């Protein structure tokens, strides 16, 4: 899938996401809740550069998106990156599709900060007959949003879900630490430690063990924990998206053809992100403001810092970042 095809895919999905925003606005009117009407949902129209919205940093920068990854060891997107200035982001994804299901923050970092975003596939799923197809689907999905793709090398018989009890566990931890040494990430995304699915939980342990090795020296990394199968008890960051941002994620998710034919979960991404904002309003403080944030769609994360081989909690100054607000505060946290 080339850049133009990716944008066209976003354009096709935009009306679908808009329908949820319009339904919410109608519900506000029916309920007589005028104070909740002015949400940052965005979207004025669609142009040949993708989606054009009012005051949306993400979509104003979509036309800068370059590069389609095409190899298992990743491909640099040199035309987009501002060398030495843009953050390097690594998504440690338990399965192909997790990169989009929880991808609000890396999507915005890619489009707004010119970040190099590398999706590192920890597994290609448990069905060996589908793994090659899922790898191709993953490439197509990442091409939509401009992420690179890599696959973590591991022994053929490695059982990730066995965790530390697996004989090859230390070998794979070292292999992941080597990947971190090659990429030198500023930000690493991983599932939170109680994300219910065994592969997600094992991925958390694997990535944490590798970060402990990578940060033993002078390296410092922001670890951003994600949620999907089970909500986090104590997130500290709520990232907002407008309708165009959600459309980018849904368009990318739709590339995982084999999975959505089995279960069309991409269709519930918009309402899931709406419910996430509902929870985030109660869990994440925002500059002394109470109640619902001024945006409709969002994703929750927990941000910590790894340094000197250990993890350290962070008290973020800005826990809620809307679609029209800068991500600089997160990058500066490092």
- What is the pLDDT at residue 234? 92
Both tokens of residue 302?
């927990």
Query: Looking at the DSSP assignment, which residues form a beta bridge with residue 306?
Result: 221, 311
Average pLDDT of the segment spanning 328-334: 67
Give the residue, 63 or 280, on which the prediction is more confident: 280
Average pLDDT of the segment spanning 65-84: 35
Would the pLDDT of 214 be above 50? yes
CB 89 within 8 A of CB 150: no
CB 12 within 8 A of CB 78: no
> pTM for the whole thing?
0.82
CB 90 within 8 A of CB 305: no
pLDDT band at 150 (very low <50, low <70, confident <90, very high): very high
pLDDT band at 317 (very low <50, low <70, confident <90, very high): confident
Half-sphere exposure of 291 (CA within 13 A, CB side): 5
- What is the pLDDT at residue 157? 79
- List the one residue out of 122, 111, 151 whose CA is nearest residue 327: 111
Would the pLDDT of 25 be above 50? yes
For 203-213, how does the pLDDT look when each residue is reduced to its tens digit (9 = 90+)?
A: 999 999 999 99
Would the pLDDT of 73 be above 70? no
Q: Which long-range contacts (CB under 8 A, 24 or more apart) does 70-73 make?
A: 70/139, 72/135, 72/149, 72/150, 72/151, 73/150
Question: Rounded to an integer, what distance in angstroms lies between the CA atom of residue 310 and that of residue 231?
Answer: 24
Enumerate residues 6+ apart whose C-beta is below 8 A from 183. Answer: 88, 90, 118
pLDDT band at 159 (very low <50, low <70, confident <90, very high): confident
Q: What is the CATH number of domain 3-26+42-332?
A: 3.40.50.10320
């Amino acid at each position: 899938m080339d850049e133009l095809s990716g944008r066209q895919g976003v354009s096709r999905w935009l009306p679908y996401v808009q329908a949820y925003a319009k339904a919410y606005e109608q519900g506000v009117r029916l309920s007589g809740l005028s104070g909740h009407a002015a949400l940052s949902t965005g979207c004025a129209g669609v142009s040949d550069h993708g989606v054009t919205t009012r005051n949306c940093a993400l979509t104003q920068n979509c036309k800068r998106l370059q590069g389609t990854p095409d190899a298992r060891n990743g491909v640099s997107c040199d035309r987009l990156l501002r060398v030495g200035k843009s953050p390097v982001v690594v998504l440690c994804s338990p399965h192909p599709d997790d990169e989009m299901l929880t991808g609000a923050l890396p999507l915005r970092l890619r489009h707004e900060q010119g970040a190099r975003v590398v999706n590192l596939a920890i597994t290609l799923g448990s069905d060996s007959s589908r793994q090659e197809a899922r790898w191709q689907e993953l490439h197509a999905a990442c091409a939509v949003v401009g992420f690179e793709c890599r696959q973590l090398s591991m022994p053929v018989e490695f059982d990730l879900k066995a965790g530390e009890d697996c004989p090859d566990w230390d070998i794979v931890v070292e292999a992941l630490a080597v990947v971190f040494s090659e990429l030198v990430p500023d930000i690493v995304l991983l599932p939170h430690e109680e994300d219910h699915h065994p592969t997600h939980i094992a991925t958390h342990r694997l990535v944490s063990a590798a970060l402990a090795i990578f940060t033993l020296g002078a390296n410092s990394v922001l670890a951003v924990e994600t949620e999907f199968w089970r909500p986090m008890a104590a997130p500290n960051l709520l990232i907002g998206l407008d309708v165009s941002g959600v459309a980018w994620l849904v368009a990318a998710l739709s590339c995982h053809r084999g999975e959505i034919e089995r279960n069309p979960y991409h269709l519930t991404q918009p309402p899931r992100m709406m419910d996430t904002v509902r929870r985030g309003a109660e869990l994440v403080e925002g500059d002394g403001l109470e109640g619902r944030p001024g945006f409709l769609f969002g994703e929750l994360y927990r941000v910590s810092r790894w340094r000197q081989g250990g993890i350290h909690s962070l008290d973020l100054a800005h826990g809620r970042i809307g679609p029209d607000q800068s991500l600089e505060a997160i990058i500066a946290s490092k």
